Amino acid sequence: MHRLTAPLFLACCALALAACTTPGDTPGTDPPVPDSAGTDGSTLNDDGGEVDSSVEPVRVASGPDPETALLAWTMAEMLELQGLTAEVVPFSDARDARRALELGEVDVRPGYTGEAWLETLGRPDPPSEPGQSYVAVRDHDVSAGIIWLRPQLGEGIDEPPANATFAFVVRGPPSVDADIRTMSQLASRLSEQPDAVVCVDQEFGNRPDGLPAVLSAYSVRSDRPFLAADPNEAVLGVAAGDCLAGLTTATDGAAWRAGLRPLVDDLRVFPAFVPLPQIRIDAATARPLIRVALGPMSAELTTGSLGRWNARMAAGEPVEQVAADAARVLFERAGRELPVEPDA
């Protein structure tokens, strides 16, 4: 996604260390929301008695990159599973999609907390703690007529929430590096193997507040060599064994397709980019089932699931098929009853 364009990518990485100590609100404490908006979708249960009284489809904004498109199509599929009709509206720029949501030209869109912290709030240093940026962007957007569904805050790659943040990736089984699961373990391996190379963007690798600062946070010599590589090249370099680890995002479909695994940032150096549904309050008021339908995305989506679905996209599967499977998986995880498919 556009998080990987050079300016934002480098800016976020450089600011990430400061985010480790950014003060924020207590995660999980919701501010007052207009009564007409109801409660977060992750806490609602479908009583089976509500029906969609509108013939207009729920309009879902999709961004230009594959991951945002996948999230948008998944949201549309979830709305359909809940008995609503939905339409995906593509945009060539994330700012345009956000503006369309503000103006009521669309009803819902997938948003990223760290991106909203930078773009909507206009603040530096996106927090590394997922709950902090969520609380800040949620509180801001209520006044703009937009709600964010509350994430389930767990730990690890296969626990919610999904976090499409920056990550070092290493080879998975049967590689000898498959036992590395965290950044702290990578730091120990780098200390044991002085000749081991990491692949990172050249500018990030040379900046004092880039790779040297990350290595310093994990008590690794900050002057160790690196191989200059953009995220795509870093994935190829790790897969080929030229690099012990490479820097990309935790949900990079090419990395997951190549059998690489993202490392857990156990010291929380990188900023949180948690994907969550954003809904216009007036749309949620008119059709409460929108929040019900999208609740499983905020409550059940994990980094690993999103990475694996992105890998299917990277392999050439149609977004509609991957999204249909993703929606059903999220409903099943949330204990939702799925519609019975007609016999072929």
Residues 230 and 191 in one domain: yes
Residues 68 and 113 in one domain: yes
- The pLDDT-based confidence of 47 (bands split at 50, 70, 90) is very low
Name the residue range of residue 296's domain.
Answer: 2-24+57-161+272-333
- The pLDDT-based confidence of 86 (bands split at 50, 70, 90) is very high
Provide CB contacts within 8 A for 216, sequence distance 6+: 222
Judged by average pLDDT, the poorest of 152-156, 231-235, 262-266 is 152-156
DSSP, collapsed to helix, strand or coil, labels residue 150 as: coil
**Both tokens of residue 340?**
């019975």
Residues 143 and 285 in one domain: yes
Residues 144 and 180 in one domain: no
Residues 76 and 196 in one domain: no
Residues 281 and 189 in one domain: no
Residues 201 and 127 in one domain: no
What is residue 343's predicted lDDT score, i.e. its pLDDT?
58
- The pLDDT-based confidence of 223 (bands split at 50, 70, 90) is confident
Residue 5 burial by Cβ neighbours in a 10 Å radius (0-12, 13-18, 19+): exposed
Give helix 66-81 / helix 319-333 axis angle, nearest 10°.
Answer: 60
Q: Is residue 35 part of a domain?
A: no
Query: Which residue pairs from 286-290 have beta carbons closer than 8 angstroms and sit at least 24 positions apart in sequence?
Result: 286/54, 287/52, 287/53, 287/54, 287/58, 287/84, 288/38, 288/44, 288/50, 289/46, 289/50, 289/52, 289/82, 289/83, 289/84, 290/41, 290/58, 290/79, 290/84, 290/107, 290/108
Which of 220, 238, 262 lies at the terminal end of a domain, its last residue? 262
What counts of helices (H) and strands (E) characterise the chain? Answer: 14, 10
Q: Is residue 130 part of a domain?
A: yes
Distance CA 63, CA 97 (A): 7
Residues 172 and 127 in one domain: no
Give the mean model confidence (pLDDT) for residues 163-169.
Answer: 97
- pLDDT tens-place string over residues 5-29: 334 344 444 434 333 333 334 444 4
Distance CA 62, CA 163 (A): 19
Q: How many structural domains compose the chain?
A: 2
pLDDT at residue 169 is higher than 80: yes
Residues in the chain: 344
What is residue 224's predicted lDDT score, i.e. its pLDDT?
83
Is the preceding peptide bond at 126 cis, omega within 30 degrees of 0? no
246, 76 Cβ separation under 8 angstroms: no
Residues 177 and 153 in one domain: no
| CATH number of 258's domain | 3.40.190.120
Pairing of strands 146-148, 198-200: unpaired
What integer best gives the mean pLDDT of the chain? 86
82, 292 Cβ separation under 8 angstroms: yes
How far is it between the farthest Cα atoms of the chain?
65
Residues 20 and 118 in one domain: yes
Which of 244, 262, 280 lies at the terminal end of a domain, its last residue? 262
What is residue 342's predicted lDDT score, i.e. its pLDDT?
62
Give the mean model confidence (pLDDT) for residues 68-80.
Answer: 98
Q: Is residue 343 part of a domain?
A: no
Task: Answer with the residue of higher pLDDT: 76 or 43.
Answer: 76
Residues 62 and 203 in one domain: no
| CATH number of 86's domain | 3.40.190.10
Residues 113 and 175 in one domain: no
Alpha carbon of 142 to those of 71, 224, 275: distances in Å?
A: 22, 46, 18
